[in-house]
Amino acid sequence: MGAHISDDAWGTINGLDPAKCDMFEYKNTGPGANPNRRQLAPSQESNYTVAKYLGGWNPDITETPITKSAFNKLEVENYDSTNSSTIVTIGTANNGKGLGSISAGDYLVFKNIDFKSEAASFKSLVATTGTPNIELRLNSPTGTLIGTLKVASTGGWNEYKEQACSINTVTGVNDLYLVFTGAVNIDWFTFSTEKITPSAGTLGDLNGDEKVDAIDFALLKSHMLGITTLTGTNYTNADVNIDGEVNAIDYAIMKQYLLNIISSFN
């Protein structure tokens, strides 16, 4: 018993006098313990067993985890835990709430997210002037990477836009870790069964000028070399074979397209 227990210990509650109740103390220790209060005699101990009061009932105090569907809108401010010491709750678009002051290396944990078996994409409402990644990992900050939202600048910290990315197959209930590589304000996220398939007209257009030409090829090359980074729809459009990754295969296909060896990306 801590020191916060007064010497009186028992008080009158709603007119109920503790002296008229069967209340005893037994083998209490610590700064709040006081052997001068009414004590249970050791000879009576055998009358007060757990079995006598609970019979065969063994209360299971392990809480059954409450799962949350990945397909609901999950508010980031309701995260279960974080490693961030800077993160703060902020006001967002439409009187919403979200999280800000996120920095590189921070992560948020959402426990017991049920992905069922059909989750194919991730979508989030974000605002940033940078180009951070939001890595989606399972069960630890370095766990299986199921997808990466390469956030494009929204043009302002209060300019909230929905951005989406494809994810790899994930099934069942997992703890979801959102791992941030840079600063972003974020309001909510959700998963969807919809695959992200850019319309044929935009595939290969990496600068949003609605043309696929040498400029796009140069942007892809620059991305592959790590000189610049494609984000948002420019990144999605660079994935010309729509397999969720931008890599040498897309580069080869782009080259064939520009050399007129192929006439479409399908």
Footprint of Ca ion (CB under 5 A): 75, 96-98, 187-188, 205, 207, 209, 211, 216, 239, 241, 243, 245, 250
Q: Which is nearer to Ca ion, 207 or 222 (CB)?
A: 207
Q: Which is nearer to Ca ion, 108 or 119 (CB)?
A: 108
> Which of 178, 192, 195 is CA-nearest to residue 239?
195
- Core vs surface per residue 26-41: b (16+ CB within 10 A) or e: eeeeeeeeeeebeeee
Closest residue to Ca ion: CB criterion: 75
Q: Which is nearer to Ca ion, 37 or 97 (CB)?
A: 97
Q: Which is nearer to Ca ion, 98 or 232 (CB)?
A: 98
Provide, rounded to whole angstroms, the least separation between the CB of residue 99 and Ca ion.
8
Side-chain half-sphere CA neighbours of 219 within 13 A: 20
Instruction: Tell me if residue 102 falls in helix, strand or coil.
Output: coil
Q: Which residue do the tokens 């479409």 mark?
A: 264
Provide, rounded to whole angstroms, the least separation between the CB of residue 129 and Ca ion.
20
Provide, rounded to whole angstroms, the least separation between the CB of residue 223 and Ca ion.
12
Residues of the chain by 3-state class (helix, strand, coil), percent to 5: 20, 25, 55
Provide, rounded to whole angstroms, the least separation between the CB of residue 115 and Ca ion.
20
Q: Answer yes or no: are the C-beta atoms of 124 and 84 closer than 8 Å.
A: no
Q: Which residue do the tokens 């580069």 mark?
A: 251
- Residue 220's H or E segment, with its range, is helix 214-224
Please state, in angstroms and as integers, the Cα–Cα distance from residue 18 to each residue in 10, 13, 21, 67, following that order: 6, 8, 5, 43
Provide, rounded to whole angstroms, the least separation between the CB of residue 92 and Ca ion.
6
Q: Which is nearer to Ca ion, 194 or 209 (CB)?
A: 209
Q: Which is nearer to Ca ion, 96 or 198 (CB)?
A: 96
Q: Which is nearer to Ca ion, 135 or 205 (CB)?
A: 205
Q: Which two tokens stand for residue 185?
A: 């304000």
Please state, in angstroms and as integers, the Cα–Cα distance from residue 196 to each residue in 63, 82, 121, 182, 249, following that order: 37, 29, 7, 24, 19
Provide, rounded to whole angstroms, the least separation between the CB of residue 254 and Ca ion.
10
Measured in Å, how far apart are the chain's first and last C-alpha atoms? 72
Q: Which two tokens stand for residue 183?
A: 């600063």
Provide, rounded to whole angstroms, the least separation between the CB of residue 253 and Ca ion.
8
